[in-house]
């Protein structure tokens, strides 16, 4: 059995406009890197965390990657231990699945070291145990599933897990604007409405179905018509500086649609060419300049690979 491995797990966009808690997709960058070593001493030891020093606990039982590994090793009745180094290559609280990427990287790395005895669905279950550290007792699987499977995924059910990979157009691009502000997932969930009008729910259901159909048919016009969130975005957008202007900048520069990535503050836009994606990114970032809010822009095709071995 190989003793050491280094892996990369990508960032993800969850919700995808109208698909709150049930849709997600992976992107090429940013993401997390994790080095895992097999040891003779039982247990999980985190030797080092870079990129967010002091912001994440180094104790395995309090860390998303550590908890995921502990759950997996317990299930496998592993007779060995592991040491890991986590290199955070993406910001916390970004709306890009930071905690999910760490959790996925850990279980994917171990699975590769022990010749892949665990299927993707079970890897999602183990990684979701780690997500409980950051998201509470009943974490949704949209970020984790997208990270593990790659591409677009539909989470039909969280309990029990039912994950459906979705095809998507080959030339679909994603532009992400990450403002240098923090939006806590817990707060962004607490402000959501507890009740909805039936007519509002019907509108949302139609948009979700249309978006899935548009992806499967590579119908850009249908994708664009369906990327409208009438439930979550109107409430959460107030937490993001300049959101309305950012979205309008994306749409007026060729975006098929634009919305909040996860719980924010990142804002994503989909388009059908790299040239449009880059133009959209520049326009979105320009909106924040007079607000004196720093930002990063990421341009990526839809990542169909999920986590990969890099060393």
pLDDT at site 36: 98
Cα-trace Rg, the chain: 19
User: pLDDT per residue over 102-152, tens digit each?
Assistant: 999 999 999 999 988 999 999 999 999 998 887 766 778 999 999 999 999
Q: Which two tokens stand for residue 250?
A: 């994306």
- Fold for domain 4-167+304-309? Ribosomal Protein S5; domain 2 (3.30.230)
Calculate the CA 269 to chain-centre distance: 15
pLDDT given at position 191: 73
The segments of the chain whose pLDDT lies below 70 read 1, 53-54, 136-137, 184-188
Domain with CATH 3.30.230.10 in the chain: 4-167+304-309
Which residue, chain included where needed, has tokens 């280094």? 6
The model's pLDDT over 185-218, given as tens digits with 9 standing for 90+, comes to 665 677 788 899 999 999 999 999 999 999 999 9
Q: Give the helix ranges, DSSP H, for the chain.
A: 64-76, 98-113, 120-135, 142-149, 185-190, 198-217, 220-226, 233-236, 243-252, 274-288
- The pTM for the full model equals 0.95
pLDDT at position 188 is 64
Specify whether the CB–CB gap between 96 and 176 falls below 8 A. yes
Considering the chain, tell me which residue range(s) the CATH 3.30.70.890 domain(s) occupy. 173-301
CATH homologous superfamily of 173-301 equals GHMP kinase, C-terminal domain (3.30.70.890)
Burial status of residue 40 (CB atoms within 10 A of its CB: 0-12, 13-18, 19 or more): exposed
CA distances from 130 to 57, 66, 88, 115, 141 (A): 13, 7, 16, 22, 11
pLDDT of residue 136: 66
So what's the pLDDT on residue 182? 76
Q: How far apart are CA 104 and CA 131, in angstroms?
A: 10
Q: Copy the structure tokens of residue 288.
A: 């924040």
């Amino acid at each position: 059995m190989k003793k050491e491995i280094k892996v990369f797990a990508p960032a993800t966009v969850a919700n995808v406009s109208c698909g709150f808690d049930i849709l997600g997709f992976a992107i090429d960058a940013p993401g997390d890197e994790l080095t895992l070593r097999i040891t003779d001493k039982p247990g999980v030891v985190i030797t080092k965390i870079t990129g967010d020093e002091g912001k994440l606990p180094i104790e395995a039982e309090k860390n998303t990657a550590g908890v995921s590994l502990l759950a997996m090793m317990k299930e496998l009745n592993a007779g060995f231990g592991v040491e890991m180094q986590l290199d955070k290559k993406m910001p916390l609280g970004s709306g890009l699945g930071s905690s999910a990427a760490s959790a996925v990287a850990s279980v994917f790395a171990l699975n590769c070291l022990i010749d892949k005895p665990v299927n993707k669905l079970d890897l999602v279950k183990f990684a979701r145990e780690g997500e409980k550290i950051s998201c509470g007792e009943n974490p949704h699987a949209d970020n984790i599933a997208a990270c593990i499977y790659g591409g677009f995924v539909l989470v039909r059910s969280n309990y029990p897990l039912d994950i459906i990979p979705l095809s998507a157009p080959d030339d679909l691009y994603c532009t992400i604007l990450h403002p240098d502000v923090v939006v806590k997932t817990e707060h962004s969930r607490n402000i959501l409405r507890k009740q909805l009008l039936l007519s509002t729910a019907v509108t949302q259901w139609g948009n979700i179905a249309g978006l899935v159909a548009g992806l499967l048919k590579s119908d850009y016009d249908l994708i664009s018509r369906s990327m409208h969130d009438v439930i979550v975005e109107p409430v959460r957008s107030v937490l993001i500086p300049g959101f309305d202007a950012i979205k309008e900048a994306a749409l007026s520069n060729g975006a098929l649609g634009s919305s909040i990535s996860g719980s924010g503050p990142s804002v994503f836009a989909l388009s059908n060419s790299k040239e449009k994606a880059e133009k959209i990114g520049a326009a979105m970032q320009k909106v924040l300049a007079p607000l004196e809010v720093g930002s990063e822009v990421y341009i990526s095709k839809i990542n169909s690979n999920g986590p990969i071995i890099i060393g």
